[in-house]
Structure 1
Amino acid sequence: MGSQGWAPVLIHSTGVWLADVANLAPSTLVGVDISDRLFPPPKAHQSFLVHSSLQLPVNWSSRFSLVHQRLMGLAFGADAWKTCIGEYIRALKPGGWVMLEEMDVVFSFGSDFEIPPVSARSISALRSLCATRNIDPDIFPKLADMLTAAGFVDVHVKHLKLPVVDGDNDGLLRTSLDAWRGMKAAVLTLGGLGLGKDEEEFDAYLAAKDAEWRNGNFCLPWIIWTARKPL
């Protein structure tokens, strides 16, 4: 595994990204997560394994051509980011690449437009939630330097804007609202974080957010970091 062709490791995912890559390159693909709950049935040249990106197997050193991770920004503290980046450079072959993708939902790089009021409330709530979990909400602007400090070269950062509603496609909006519904209990336990002191007020907030995003041209920043392990 990983000794021939292009062998990415997909960190923390349902396997959607890995499946897309499989359609482009018939290579050995490995997906890992801390739980197998969301693993799809593996296809040819695919395997899904339960591992933590903070402690990859010892025998994975210099094994992969690409390591890909996405959507862990509000799960990792600064120390965890350093650890996983260190594990990724260890797991890569010389000349291999790491690719990190994150939705900057707290606008840590700032915004070139005025954030509407309902959305501003959710950003404030997320920042408060990060504080309760010892997570730095402004870690993204620091990741390029962290990649360099770990030994990566050719570090690049790409900024994209994804519309939450794009014509008839409202998938990003629905995904965001579903994520907030999943956090409802935790948010209410903390007093609502300005989004509502009970379920009725919280649900009313989500309805207002739905309306605000559907009636505007709101976009969320999507950030992509790529970096190479030296030869």
Structure 2
Amino acid sequence: MLSFFSRLKWVRKSKKTQSSKKKDEISKVSSRTSESTNSSSQPKIQTSSVYTNGRRFQAYKDCNYILPNDDTEIDRLHLEHWLMKNVLGRNFSVPIEPELDRGIKVLDAGCGGGTWVLEMANEYPNSDFTGIDVSVGWPTEIRPRNSDFVVGNIVSELPFEDNTFDFVYMRLVGMGVSNDEYPTVLYHIYRVLKPGGWVELVEVDGAQVYRGRRSSQFWNAVLQYLKMRGFKTGIVKDLYQKVEDAGFVNIDGMRVRIPLGTWGGKLGEVFEEDVLGAYRSLRPVIQPMLNFSDDDFQSLLDNLPAENNEVRQEMNWFSNWAQKPTPEQIRFR
């Protein structure tokens, strides 16, 4: 079996700031019907949102994503995209750049704000890029002509014909796809990939490497909340086996250990901004789990940077890729 974490690398880049947006929204529930912004042939999906302590969360009954889906969270996802691109050195790791230059069909499963799709569409104008997500967070008017977006729940289905895409990219769905649901998502990906097509999966091990007392306290509350929502931990721990069980071949990948805090230079500084942004996003659901007052929770956030530097906090990210076998490869397996 190939080594799943065959490479380890560090990259330090300059900091990019994230806009901070605060909304004073009263608690309410809203719902609407959405569809693909370009293709009326795609099935419609009934989506809904719930507002909690000024943050908007996904309330679609078959979606377990625990982070918000509002503009503030989209800003954080833009920052996170920039961070991962600079850490990994590019937007993908699968060996298909010549094919992208010539022109192929690509899907971003769980695309969030659509940043990856938009950048890739600009960089590879001969290829066609589609993003799918249960919430609309992408630009609906101004975007590259070779990009499209579809509203859909990747756990339920991928609303595309068999053997449609040459490359499927999926990043950071661990907070919305449970360990038990992951094989179903991989089944959908396998189905829509062409024989010989590639899938790339990027996930983070939120448990971190050297946790201090405060970060342990926060993460344990996250685990408790995930358990309440039916999640199991450890997607990254057995992802290789899940990919292999789904029928993929030529499985490979790399682990990237990223510093968290100013002790790690600009990279650690930006990553800390991203993680603290995620912690703030989770405040409406995690603060009650901790039974903290507003002041106590803010004190926890305020003291995390010093603790991160003290313990030299790090976090593991995993970029893993595999190939759907061709009929010839299946025949000789």
TM-score (norm 2): 0.61
What is the one-letter code of the residue matched to 2:105? Answer: A
- CA apart distance, 1:24: 3.3
Tell me, in whole angstroms, the C-alpha distance in 1 between the residues paired with 2:265 and 2:321. Answer: 30
Pair 1:18-2:117 in alignment: yes
* 1:144 counterpart residue number: 240
Which residue of structure 1 lines up, in the alignment, with residue 281 of structure 2? 182
1:160 aligns with 2:262: no
Distance in structure 2 (CA, Å) of the matches to 1:49 and 1:42: 14
Distance 1:155 1:213, change over 3 A: same
Q: Does 1:32 align with 2:132?
A: yes
Instruction: Classify the secondary structure of the residue corresponding to 2:174.
Output: coil
**Any gaps of 5 or more consecutive residues in structure 2?**
1-38, 40-101, 327-333
1:40-84 CA-partner distances (Å, limit 9, x unpaired): 242121111112212111x43101011111111122223321111
The answer to whether the 8 Å contact 1:8/1:65 transfers is: yes
Distance 1:216 1:77 in 2: 30
Residue 149 (structure 2) aligns with: 48
3-state secondary structure, aligned to 1:167: helix
User: Which aligned runs of 4 or more in structure 1 are off by greater than 6 angstroms?
Assistant: none
Partner residue in 2 for 1:208: 303
Q: Report the AA paired with residue 234 of structure 2.
A: D
Matching residue of 2:176 = 75
Does the Cα contact within 8 Å between 2:222 and 2:286 map onto a contact in 1? Answer: no
CA distance in 1 between counterparts of 2:287 and 2:178 reads 23
Which residue number corresponds to residue 105 of structure 2? 7
The answer as to 2:200 corresponding to 1:94 is: no
Give the aligned length: 218
CA distance in 2: counterparts of 1:136 and 1:70, whole angstroms: 18
Per-residue deviation, 1:39: 0.6
1:62 is aligned to 2:160:
no
Paired letter, 1:219: E
- The residue that corresponds to 1:225 in the other structure is 320
Cα deviation per residue 1:118-167 (whole Å; 9 max; x = unaligned)?
22222322222221111111122122111111111111231101223453
1:201 deviates by 0.5
Shift of 1:87: 0.3
Give the TM-score normalised by the residue count of structure 1.
0.86
Q: Which moved more, 1:18-27 or 1:146-155?
A: 18-27
Alpha carbons 1:127, 1:137 under 8 Å: kept: yes
Q: Which amino acid aligns with 2:158?
A: L
Give the Cα separation in 2 of the matches to 1:172 and 1:188: 22
Q: Distance in 1 between matches of 2:154 and 2:301?
A: 33
